Amino acid sequence: MHYVCTNTSQSLGPLKQYQKIAQALRQQIVSGQYATGALLPSENDLCSQFGTTRMTVRQALSELVREGFIDRQQGKGSVVKADRQSLGLLSFRGFSEVVGRSNHSVRNEFLARPSYTEWPASFFHALSDQEREGGCLWLQRLRYVDDNPVMVEHTYIPAPGLTDLLTEGLIDGSLFRTLSIRHRIHILDMEQAIRAVLTTQEQAGIFRCSEQTPLIYIERRYLTNRPDFYVYSQLYCHTEKYAVSSF
């Protein structure tokens, strides 16, 4: 598969040429230097800019495609894609809707603002001693689609060095965007386990449904460009009106 780069900040190890180029472009994208829909410089421009050949540049651009940052169109260029993590890497669609169309309005709301805490005594994923010791930041969000509450998400982040999340808030309300821009932490991959469960009384209130309504329950571990740094999430999805798609 893709292996994780051994390195986040340059001079620690030998970053390949194409990784340097990818990193530079990635940071320009997440920092807003290229808006959604904008074109990156052409391959030839990038060649002279980085003093290399098309093959190396193309390898960098392929990495960005794989990571979902850009699409490429022959005859046109490399198009920056919309924020791909808008709903925690999930997307929803209406029952009878054609795949690919998505004119839903999406809104998020905190059920619990970021706070520092111990890890839960019984956590769904094994933790390293280092993770366990440092405690975690915890936050809970409720996601709406077309003003229907559809997903509750509990997120756990190893705390060390990320205390600004407590004081500064999230950029555009997006956790991943904030991690990208302020900490150069990029989500590269994800593992997940999925089950069906019944609502608790509390959840029934949140989703405005009866108890005994089935929910999708997902446990996730996000892998990042920092070795041994993971973000964890638990998701509860109410799927009566909107199905979950495109994992």
Partner DNA sequence: GAGTGGTCTAGACCACCTG
Partner DNA sequence: AGGTGGTCTAGACCACTCG
Residue ranges in contact with DNA by CB under 7 A: 2-3, 16-18, 40, 42-45, 51-56, 58-59, 72-78
Q: Which of 110, 193, 205, 227 is in the footprint of a second copy by CB under 8 A?
A: 193
Closest CA relative to residue 146, chosen from 214, 213, 89, 94: 94
Nearer to a second copy among residue 66 and residue 113 (C-beta): 66
Q: Which of 14, 99, 101, 105 is in the footprint of a second copy by CB under 8 A?
A: 99
Q: Which does 3 bind (CB under 5 to 8 A by kind): DNA, a second copy, none?
A: DNA
Nearer to DNA among residue 19 and residue 108 (C-beta): 19
Q: Write out the DSSP string of 56-111.
A: HHHHHHHHHHHTTSEEEETTTEEEEPP-TTTTTT-EEEETTPPTT-----EEEEEE
Q: How far is the CB of 138 from a second copy (least distance, A)?
A: 22
Q: How far is the CB of 57 from DNA (least distance, A)?
A: 8
Determine phi and psi for 40, rounding to 5 degrees. Answer: -70, 165
Largest Cα–Cα distance of the chain, in whole Å? 62
Q: Is 35 in the site for a second copy (CB under 8 A)?
A: no
Q: Which of 38, 39, 55, 112 is in the footprint of a second copy by CB under 8 A?
A: 55
Nearer to a second copy among residue 45 and residue 240 (C-beta): 240
Is 227:134 a contact under the CB 8 Å cutoff?
no
Q: Which does 146 bind (CB under 5 to 8 A by kind): a second copy, DNA, none?
A: none
Q: How far is the CB of 169 from a second copy (least distance, A)?
A: 32
Q: How far is the CB of 164 from DNA (least distance, A)?
A: 33
Q: How far is the CB of 33 from a second copy (least distance, A)?
A: 24
Closest CA relative to residue 36, chosen from 93, 68, 83, 77: 83
Question: For residues 246 and 85, what is the distance between their CA atoms, to the nearest angstrom?
Answer: 12
Question: For residues 245 and 106, what is the distance between their CA atoms, to the nearest angstrom?
Answer: 15
Q: How far is the CB of 188 from DNA (least distance, A)?
A: 15
| Coil, strand or helix at 191 | strand
Q: Which does 117 bind (CB under 5 to 8 A by kind): DNA, a second copy, none?
A: none
Q: Is 128 in the site for a second copy (CB under 8 A)?
A: no
Is 59:18 a contact under the CB 8 Å cutoff?
yes
Is 181:30 a contact under the CB 8 Å cutoff?
yes
Question: For residues 229 and 238, what is the distance between their CA atoms, to the nearest angstrom?
Answer: 30
Which residues make up the interface to a second copy (CB under 8 A)? 1, 55, 71, 93, 98-99, 126, 191-198, 212, 214-216, 219, 237, 239-240, 243-247
